[in-house]
Amino acid sequence: MEQNSSIEDPPFDFGRLRRFPDVEAPNLFAHDATDELILREASGALSAHDGGRVAIVGDRYGALTLAAATLHGLSGLRVHQDGRSGELALAANAARLGLEGSYSSMPLDAGLVRDAAVVLWQLPRSLEEVAEVAQLISAHASPEVRIFAGGRIKHMTVAMNAVLSQYFSSVIPGRAWRKSRPLVVGEPLATGQRGEGPASDFPKKEYHADLGLWLCAHGATFGGTKVDVGTRFLLGFVDQMRPGAAAAVDLGCGNGTIAAALAKARPALRVTATDQSAAAVAATMETAAANGLADRIDTVRDDALDSFAPASAELIVLNPPFHVGAAVHAGIAHKLFAAAARVLAPGGELWCVYNRHLDYKDALARTVGETSVMGRNSKFTVTKSTKTL
């Protein structure tokens, strides 16, 4: 489809939005053309409805929510963002623009979309996540609901339309603009009309006989129900991780593989699993329960250990992300190293696995303390950093 460059910019200053407390860098932005396209496509529907009938899913840093509130004078907007840092960024941006009262942050459940007539949705890349959200909207929103979705063209596939078509009979792509494309979706299918889809029920659950563990996942959980390859290598070191420790933190817990493996291998250990992703925290709770470990695994949804007291942990285990959204950026790993350094007690240990080409050893030594390479294979390095006394 041809690019349309004649769309006028709406009177909302997207430039005032910040990503903070998420990683900020010159190549990382707080809004994109998709936000503007979604808002333009939805303009008529937003003007015709009360804010209480509008739900917003996947807003990155508040562009959709705050522009909808400003341009259409809406309040009572219901918003779900999987990442805690996006939620905090929306709150900070709302405070800066005096729009704190215009929305509520909500979990991904029926309450988010119940009776919604309009949904704005920054499409995720994961088809599982598309399926989980689509399923929820089709089951609980108004039968008249119209979803104004969009994404970067390079991340949109026909498979995505196929997933949406399992839950809605109308899926209409719009005109591309600045490398983004809108999709207008509606006419929810009643449960009986839906075909058997690849992702009709969440959480998903898979048994891994090699680890003797069930792993659970929601659509947005990192890695789904799989065992991450780096994590698999790291798990070979579980017995060496601060022997005798009574408590450990699984930082960036994803589906809870590390928390569950630690708790299973070391019955004296209590584990606090934490992630900024709501889908990760929910999955880890489900993983803990599925393995009969819920009495020794607690979960906290938190951006980089924000709610943990300084010098309070004796062992932290981390497989850091190294992609920030679509941009490859190491900032998030460094942010998590700094968080671990703050929360470790003197003499406490941070165990970390990372792609061997990344070479984080010096950064770990500088940020946390003495760092030794404990293992290396063709792809990954495992390090132990001891917090300086």
Ligand X SMILES: C[S@@+](CC[C@H](N)C(=O)[O-])C[C@H]1O[C@@H](n2cnc3c(N)ncnc32)[C@H](O)[C@@H]1O
Residues in contact with ligand X by CB under 6 A are 85, 222-223, 228, 231, 252-255, 257-258, 275-277, 280, 303-304, 319, 321, 332
CB 272 within 8 A of CB 299: yes
Q: How far is the CB of 27 from ligand X (least distance, A)?
A: 18
Q: How far is the CB of 182 from ligand X (least distance, A)?
A: 27
Which helix (H) or strand (E) segment is 47 a member of? helix 33-48
If the CB atoms of residues 145 and 253 are measured against ligand X, the closer one turns out to be 253
Point out which residues pair with 173 in neighbouring strands: 183
If the CB atoms of residues 24 and 50 are measured against ligand X, the closer one turns out to be 24
If the CB atoms of residues 173 and 321 are measured against ligand X, the closer one turns out to be 321
Q: How far is the CB of 286 from ligand X (least distance, A)?
A: 14
List, in sequence order, every beta strand (DSSP E) within the chain. Answer: 54-57, 77-80, 103-105, 118-122, 146-152, 168-173, 180-188, 204-208, 213-217, 247-251, 270-275, 297-301, 313-318, 323-324, 327-328, 344-355, 371-376, 380-386
327 CA to centre of own chain: 15
- Grouping H, G, I as helix, E, B as strand and the rest as coil, residue 280 is helix
Q: How far is the CB of 222 from ligand X (least distance, A)?
A: 4
* Token pair of 234 as six digits: 């790291």
If the CB atoms of residues 138 and 277 are measured against ligand X, the closer one turns out to be 277
Q: How far is the CB of 252 from ligand X (least distance, A)?
A: 3
Q: How far is the CB of 227 from ligand X (least distance, A)?
A: 7
If the CB atoms of residues 332 and 341 are measured against ligand X, the closer one turns out to be 332
146 CA to centre of own chain: 24
If the CB atoms of residues 114 and 155 are measured against ligand X, the closer one turns out to be 155
